Copies of this chain bind each other. A is one copy, B any other.
């Protein structure tokens, strides 16, 4: 895959239906990119991928770099899978410094940076210090097939307002409205602190002065659907835009 093409495994509607028993092995996921986001088996926390390293951010506040088996190891050692993930070989097309007072600022800034990319996917990375960052982390399914809305009901939210301000990186995607049910329409962003000890799904932010915003458009989107997966095959996948916005917005 060329830089900035996006590879996605499964669809967000399947997560809504609780399809999270199986998934794409993380070693396979990393063949398609070095920056991304997603979740883990049983919705056990939030995933962010930066520079080819996969981090798992759990609702107990722990953050771990996932230890992946080497290529020579047995296939059986691969227990880490993503029931949903998006990944890209990120190569910024535009870069700027900006003060961000909220997510809406970020939304309009990115639209301004890439006016020719209204109706396509975007990837973006933000790095700097933040006066305030609010994230949530899902706590995992408490029973098989539990849907994302129910799992989200017992998620943990955390706001980091530290002195000195927390330093970290946000990475994520903007998906066009017509991809609702497949990806998450609008901005879907995950955050991890520079010390790799805090993070989650980004809900709100206030930058501490200027931060670096890098963005790239994506004109090619590769979707892999679960094969030989009864849970996916049996799911209703009706979709629910309001539910997606509520739990992933």
Q: A232-B119, A233-B118 are in contact. Are A178 and B181 (CB under 8 A)?
A: yes
Q: Establish whether residues B176 and A237, one from each chain, have CB atoms under 8 Å apart when the complex forms.
A: yes
Contacts of A238 in B (CB 8 A): 177
A177 in contact with B119 given A220-B223, A224-B219, A225-B221 (CB within 8 Å): no
Question: How many Å lie between the Cα of A133 and that of B237 in the bound state?
Answer: 33
**Chain B residues, CB < 8 A from A121:** 225
Given contacts A178-B11, A220-B223, A225-B220, are A234 and B116 in contact (CB under 8 A)?
no
A227 touches B219 (CB 8 A): yes
Residues of B within 8 A of A11 (CB): 178
Minimum CB–CB distance for A40 against chain B, Å:
21
**Residues of B contacting A220 with CB < 8 Å?**
222-225
Min distance, Cβ A81 to any Cβ of chain B, angstroms: 16
* Interface pair B219/A225, CB less than 8 Å apart: yes
Question: Are B221 and A223 in touch, CB under 8 angstroms?
Answer: yes
Q: Which residues of B contact A227 (CB under 8 A)?
A: 120, 217, 219
A179 within 8 A of B: yes
- Closest B-chain residue to A217, C-beta based? B227
CB–CB A117/B219 < 8 A: no
- Interface flags for A153-172 (1: CB within 8 Å of B; 0: not) read 00000000000000000000
A234 to chain B: which residues have CB within 8 Å?
118
Chain B residues whose C-beta falls within 8 Å of the C-beta of A224 in the assembled complex = 219-220
Chain B residue with minimal CB distance to A19? B119
Would you call A233 and B177 a contact (CB within 8 A)?
no
- A68 contacts B by Cβ under 8 Å: no
Q: Which residue of B lies closest to A233 (CB)?
A: B118
The verdict on A211 contacting chain B, using a C-beta distance below 8 Å, is no
